[in-house]
């Protein structure tokens, strides 16, 4: 795959620009990558606002693809694993954690978020879909608001340019797109480390716990979680739900 790169110093949202740019391309499997050092109106899952510091990496990978060969939900796996893979080359993997569905944390006086991924999809025609993998990596940020549980590569005494992170990330995403899908799903499941963990479901608006003492039964092939609560009730958790569990 030949990737078209467009870099900005500051944007409102790399995902929005990526969507506008990919509309100009009719070919499938011809990705566009939009990057910026500053993002003024970035978003996370469930309409949450992503912390928009300066000199971090704000990245969007947009591609039109056939959903028969590359289902939409695999883009979630690919985004999370790609970020995990490149950070594991920089950070001791023993302290790196992939949290369902696609946030990356570092164990440092507890667990602190270093990167997040959001996937968005738009149907084009027939079985063709446009998918955008949006990534935020805390790179050069030295301090964070006190209410954020966050950490950066700078805080870990790591010095890497956004351009280097961009190349590593794009290469990993393309490699995963071309890889066996069952193998990718298996790796993703193992990195989540959800077995025997007590899971709580969090209300997206109030951030309060609405269900707790939930155990994982299985991770389904479409990336949803089949779980059982303390009353033996079965329920499904998907990537629209916010959950909390011990990452250590």
Q: 41-71: per-residue pLDDT in tens? A: 766 554 555 556 677 899 999 999 999 989 9
Same domain flag for 110 and 135: yes
pLDDT in tens, 147-156: 788 999 999 9
Q: Which residues of 194-227 are buried (b: 16+ CB within 10 A; e: fewer)?
A: beebebbbbeeeeeeeebeebebeebeeebbbeb
Contact criterion met (CB below 8 Å) for 83 and 104: yes
Q: List Cβ neighbours of 44 (8 Å cut-off, separation of 6 or more).
A: 50, 116, 118, 136
Q: How many CA atoms lie within 13 A of 152 on its CB side?
A: 23
| CATH for 57 | 3.30.930.10
Distance separating alpha carbons of residues 150 and 134, to the nearest angstrom: 18
Same domain flag for 60 and 114: yes
What is residue 155's predicted lDDT score, i.e. its pLDDT?
94
Distance separating alpha carbons of residues 74 and 79, to the nearest angstrom: 9
pLDDT in tens, 82-111: 999 999 999 999 999 999 988 999 998 889
Same domain flag for 29 and 147: yes
Predicted model pTM: 0.91
Same domain flag for 96 and 145: yes
pLDDT in tens, 157-178: 999 999 999 999 999 999 999 9
Same domain flag for 155 and 218: no
Same domain flag for 126 and 223: no
Q: What is the dihedral of CA 177, 183, 189, 191, to 10 degrees?
A: -80
Same domain flag for 203 and 185: no
Same domain flag for 208 and 163: no
What is residue 48's predicted lDDT score, i.e. its pLDDT?
54
The whole-number average pLDDT for the span 112-134 is 91
Is the confidence at residue 233, as pLDDT, over 70? yes
Helix (H, G, I), strand (E, B) or coil at 4: strand
Distance separating alpha carbons of residues 154 and 142, to the nearest angstrom: 6
Same domain flag for 14 and 80: yes
Structural domains of the chain, count: 2
Please count the other Cβ atoms lying within 10 Å of the Cβ belonging to residue 40.
Answer: 11
pLDDT band at 30 (very low <50, low <70, confident <90, very high): very high
Boundaries of domain holding 224 = 199-244
Q: How many CA atoms lie within 13 A of 46 on its CB side?
A: 13
Same domain flag for 151 and 38: yes
| Omega within 30 of 0 (cis) for the link into 101 | yes
Same domain flag for 139 and 236: no
Same domain flag for 186 and 222: no
């Amino acid at each position: 795959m030949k990737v078209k790169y467009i870099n900005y110093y500051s944007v409102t949202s790399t995902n929005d620009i990526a969507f506008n740019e990919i509309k100009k391309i009719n070919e499938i499997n011809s990705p566009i990558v939009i990057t910026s050092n500053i993002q003024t109106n970035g978003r996370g899952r469930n309409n949450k606002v992503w912390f928009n510091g300066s000199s971090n990496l704000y990245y969007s990978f947009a591609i039109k693809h056939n959903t028969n060969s590359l289902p939409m939900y695999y883009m979630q796996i690919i985004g999370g694993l790609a970020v995990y893979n490149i950070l594991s080359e920089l950070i001791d993997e023993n302290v790196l954690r992939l949290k369902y569905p696609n946030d990356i944390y570092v164990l440092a006086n507890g667990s602190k978020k270093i990167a997040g991924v959001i996937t968005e999809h738009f149907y084009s025609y027939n079985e063709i879909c446009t998918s955008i993998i949006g990534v935020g990596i805390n790179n050069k940020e030295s301090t964070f608001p006190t209410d954020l549980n966050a950490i950066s590569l700078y805080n870990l005494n790591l010095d890497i340019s956004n351009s280097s992170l961009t190349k590593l990330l794009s290469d990993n995403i393309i490699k995963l797109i071309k890889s066996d899908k069952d193998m990718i799903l298996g790796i993703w499941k193992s990195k989540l480390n959800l077995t025997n963990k007590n899971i709580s479901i969090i209300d997206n608006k109030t951030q309060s716990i609405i269900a707790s003492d939930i155990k994982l039964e299985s991770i389904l092939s479409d990336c949803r979680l089949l779980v059982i609560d303390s009353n033996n009730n079965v329920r499904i958790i998907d990537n629209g739900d916010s959950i909390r569990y011990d990452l250590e």
